[in-house]
A and B are shown apart, each in its own frame.
Chain A
Amino acid sequence: MTLELKNITTVVNQGTPEEKTILHDLNLKLHDGDFVTLLGTNGAGKSTLLNVINGSLKPSTGQILLDETDITNLSEVKRAKAIAQVFQDPKMGTAPRMTVAENLLLATKRGQHRGLKLRGLERHMEEFTEKTAQLPNGLSERLNTFVGNLSGGQRQTLSFLMATIRQPKLLLLDEHTAALDPNTSKNLLELTNDVVTKKQITCIMITHQLRDALKYGNRTIVLNSGKIVLDAQGKEKRQLTEEKILEFFTN
């Protein structure tokens, strides 16, 4: 999978006194299996960049190519077949009044046609038990629990499993561990790293933790005022330090 962003500019509140350019003529190319950690100060444009890629925000100018196909005008719903997401808020990625198994079942059909065929939950239970058994926080025993009754950590782990249960072409993680306690956050990051690297999923992970940005992924990008000010991979990434990254935050 390759993702290419060409000359992406996003302007919000266009034509009003509050008009603001978030992304400035941004160019980026991701290659198959790239695991990018994306950093930047608040307002640097990280979430906007992810929203432009997932289709929930249309860029003012520019082009988005996924496997060389232009998807700039494709809606978020249509992009979902290829692009999976985990949001920052654990409540955002799951349906609280449906059970864990029902949520997983929805995710197995991500981006596919949903017709009048019976849902066939029972046929998938074995797979769900097996997949959740590999996770750290006891989800396998709670497959029939309503998601609204789970803890934030369990909900976010479920969101991550839902995003990866069928391999996406691209995985977008928007500070997906930020709302969790340090221990749960660490476990989910380890799980993320395991799954993304083992399955060779192309992934962009926004984080505010410099240590995590350095530890995970093969590529680190820093955004500052809507522009890419650092794109380090290979040896350059290995030689990066937290101090060095901070310089790109302020300059």
Chain B
Amino acid sequence: MKQNKKMIVCFLTPALIFFVAAFLYPICRTVVMSLFKVESISDPVGLWEFVGLSNFADLAETTIFQVAMINMLKIWLIGGILVLSVALLFAGILTSGIVGKNVYRAIIYVPNIINAVAMSTMWINYVYNKRFGLLHNFFTWIGADGLAKLDYMNGSLKFVSLLIAFCFGSVGYFMLIFMSGIEQIPGDVFEAATIDGAGKIKQFFTITCPLLKGTFKTCLTFWTVSVVGFFVWSQMWSAPLASEMSTITPFIYMYNVTFGTMGNVERNGGLGAAVGVVMALVVLVVFFVVGRLVKDDDLEL
């Protein structure tokens, strides 16, 4: 028993040290920092000026932040519905005993392993190009000239095009999670349903979907985390103007407000930390609400 104690300590300590240094301490410090006005992010704590909750009040009144939050909410809600339903549909198709399952799965997953910078270059310069892009050519070919003439990288369409590109790349990842969830459902459940005369599609909606509650919960959490960390895509889409309103997200706003590369926003590390706290709260609320709404332990398999 004594030997076990020594082993537990030896094996656990390195991981805990890294955890405290890379997560616990920074998280606490961000929370504290959000209550102060911090001119330069590298200032020592002595130079911080306590302002209470006024950073949060400032945030609530800043138009850019409001726009950023609304953008994020749109990505989360619309994108979430699109990505999760497409991923679930594909997972359903690929687990139905289709020939070439492994090939399909590999190809659908590939966009995930390609760097976001490369993917967005491809979308912007090829698919969405208004003179020779894939969409332009496709719509010209089917004769929809109105659609062919649209400029996908401008005005209100810019956000939609960003959303579609981002969602396209995310489907593969969630499809894999759904697939592993479906494969864990015992086969005899489906056999019984087939004997009782339920078709594939009916089985999908009445057996697969309800039994995937737990998987769905995981996916929703991962989706929220990835939307909150939305940075590279938005930056690619708004280059060269680093903080364009149509595609700004809270992460980009935080970056501008703390590191102030563009000079169009006042630099305040505390404000940046407040954005971080708000984002973390968003994730925790989603986490909590989903956990409350979806109980996955009421199923015995």
The answer on A and B forming one complex is no
**Which residues of B are in contact with A by a Cβ distance under 8 Å?**
none
